[in-house]
Chain A
């Protein structure tokens, strides 16, 4: 059980890093910047 949990966490972590740094972001259609999104994407 512990191994399943640990390796699931690893899978999520790897997927997140790949998505963040290696896949191009798709712009959502009709998305509007409201001025509150302060995440510059650099962190």
Chain B
């Protein structure tokens, strides 16, 4: 039997459940978000269809029309215009939302004009009864010249029928459903005569879009048929009106909504959640609950992981044969890994809450709310998406700026997004807060530690929009982008989607960061266990011969020797060299080393300290937190992690660009080293000054 391989493109407006249909068809899982811009690149999955047909399913970025104005919309148009592309679709699935059919059909009519066999997938069909919607499918199929598939990607129904329809793609009409050339018959006629072998609507798109499609051909077209920019815009508007007239006429017969059945609970809830006062109050209350819970619920599992690794370390050192590798294992590798695994509960809870907010549809209301604030600071509403995505990681957040059309708005968003508190900062915040902020309650229910964490998140967001305001004033942005945000229906979060998101994010954190932390822990252990010169090699003799050490207990003597060796090790020498720069901030050389190594990834900070303190001390059974809490500065005689130095460190990490990958992605997205270097100097310089002021005021 011959195996046929076909390309299927999934196209649709943002938030119509396109990615969920993709997941259902391919079995692959990816982030399902409710706010626009989450899908910025094309994604491919594979699907076995009946009759031994294999399909490459291409999940294209969400777009409202084929009038491209951003990079992710260009992806769709470039593919659909280029028949030579190896992914050019044999059949297009235009995914729509049954409740927003009118607006979603605009894109459908444009795709049909490209004469690609197209199936209209009407998603969320399970809500039709509840919303009082009835569809006359035969009528719609006849007038839209297509096949219609009713599906519910959330409940999984209709997917098997959709697969059957895909394999009949050769029988599906590729005829346009309306004649768009009536907007200027004379112009289109001349175009048709000049290029008889070309598809008329494709020519029109090439003329009106600035897309990278067969450059020579475009030049040829433009030389004789280019109209003024305003004329083209006017014609595009006429085209859109013409399409909506057609859609209205078809839906007048094909779609019925019984308003008596459709109880508008959504509108009522929207009025409250996007209210200019209550909207913000509810949002901050939700944030507050999230950060309180992150601390409260994580306590027990974190303590368990911490003590398990301390015991493991002790077990390794007591039971394995004495030697270099055993020391590396018990003082370097185990504490280093423990330093990252301890944060699994907090990371998991953070993403659990974020996923629930996204899945329920609330996140889009937050985007809408924040848009009002953003505009006051001169940013595009579309900047909200990267800034909120930045709570996970700045890298995908910076990539999500691709849907901002205006270059300067995009650049400002790229530059300020790293201020948003990413998940990599969470371990640093969590351990410092636990050390310097008392676990007390204010007014009986406000946990100080949770409150501090929430303030740090707000500080990051506040600093991002303040910097945007300053940059906006300096860079003088001209022209604004308009912002369309889809308000999806409220729905109960799907357990499967939430679970997958939490597992994937936690896995990415553990395995991504874990590998770097493990490697750095090993290198640090060597740097801390070996040293040049007599001081390191003769540490034992030097310490025992000191007058002040005469008569002290052997355990104390061991600590003094270990500490002296550490100070004279390679890492100790490096740390002491940079100490003058960081001591005004309240940090000792060990913290300095942790700051430098955490430039690879912020989470490395905790792992580094765990390794350094393990090498420098003799008690392997103690937990990382206890070791850090007990550390005394030999010069001041005070605890290293006190309130002043702790706040200084928190502020330093809130503002500093401690992430090599962020620099790399900024360089990639701006195509210049000028912006990432400027970003690094400003953010790190600002962080240093703020941390310095904080320590000097609080000490």
Q: In the bound complex, do residue A33 and residue B43 qualify as a contact, i.e. CB atoms below 8 Å apart?
A: yes
Report if A34 contacts B (CB, 8 A): yes
A residues less than 8 Å from B601 (CB atoms): 42-43
Q: Is the interface of B mostly helix, strand, loop or mixed?
A: helix
B residues less than 8 Å from A13 (CB atoms): 518-520, 522-523
**B44 contacts which of A9, A34, A39 (Cβ < 8 Å)?**
A34
Q: How far is the CB of A6 from chain B (nearest CB, A)?
A: 4
Q: In the bound complex, do residue A6 and residue B324 qualify as a contact, i.e. CB atoms below 8 Å apart?
A: yes
Q: In the bound complex, do residue B515 and residue A21 qualify as a contact, i.e. CB atoms below 8 Å apart?
A: no
Interface residues in A14-43 (C-beta closer than 8 Å to B): 14, 16-17, 20-21, 32-36, 38-43
Q: In the bound complex, do residue A40 and residue B28 qualify as a contact, i.e. CB atoms below 8 Å apart?
A: no
Q: How far is the CB of A24 from chain B (nearest CB, A)?
A: 10
Q: In the bound complex, do residue B323 and residue A34 qualify as a contact, i.e. CB atoms below 8 Å apart?
A: no
Which of A1, A20, A42 is packed against the most chain B CB atoms within 10 Å?
A42
B residues less than 8 Å from A33 (CB atoms): 41-44
Q: In the bound complex, do residue A42 and residue B28 qualify as a contact, i.e. CB atoms below 8 Å apart?
A: no
Report if B660 contacts A (CB, 8 A): yes
A residues less than 8 Å from B368 (CB atoms): none
A-B contact count (CB 8 A): 104
A15 to B, closest residue via Cβ: B519
Report if B659 contacts A (CB, 8 A): yes
Q: In the bound complex, do residue B393 and residue A40 qualify as a contact, i.e. CB atoms below 8 Å apart?
A: yes
Contact flag A35-B395 (CB < 8 Å), given A42-B661, A42-B662: no
A residues less than 8 Å from B324 (CB atoms): 2-3, 5-6
Report if B613 contacts A (CB, 8 A): no
Q: How large is the interface on A (under 10, 10 to 19, 20 to 34, 35 or more residues)?
A: 20 to 34
Contact flag A2-B325 (CB < 8 Å), given A13-B523, A35-B22: yes
26 residue pairs from A and B, CB less than 8 Å apart: A1-B323, A3-B325, A6-B325, A10-B523, A13-B518, A13-B522, A14-B519, A16-B515, A17-B520, A21-B660, A33-B43, A33-B44, A34-B43, A34-B45, A35-B29, A35-B43, A36-B28, A39-B512, A41-B395, A41-B661, A42-B395, A42-B422, A42-B424, A42-B659, A43-B509, A43-B516
Contacts A36-B504, A43-B601 given; 7 further ones with Cβ under 8 A? A2-B324, A5-B325, A16-B519, A17-B516, A17-B523, A21-B600, A41-B664
10 closest A-B pairs by beta carbon, nearest first, are A2-B323, A43-B512, A43-B513, A35-B43, A42-B661, A40-B395, A35-B30, A13-B522, A13-B519, A2-B325
Q: Taking beta carbons and an 8 Å cutoff, which residues of B are in contact with A?
A: 22, 28-31, 41-45, 59, 321, 323-326, 328, 333, 393-396, 422, 424, 504-505, 507-509, 511-513, 515-516, 518-520, 522-523, 526, 600-601, 603, 659-662, 664-665
Q: Taking beta carbons and an 8 Å cutoff, which residues of A are in contact with B?
A: 1-3, 5-6, 9-10, 12-14, 16-17, 20-21, 32-36, 38-43
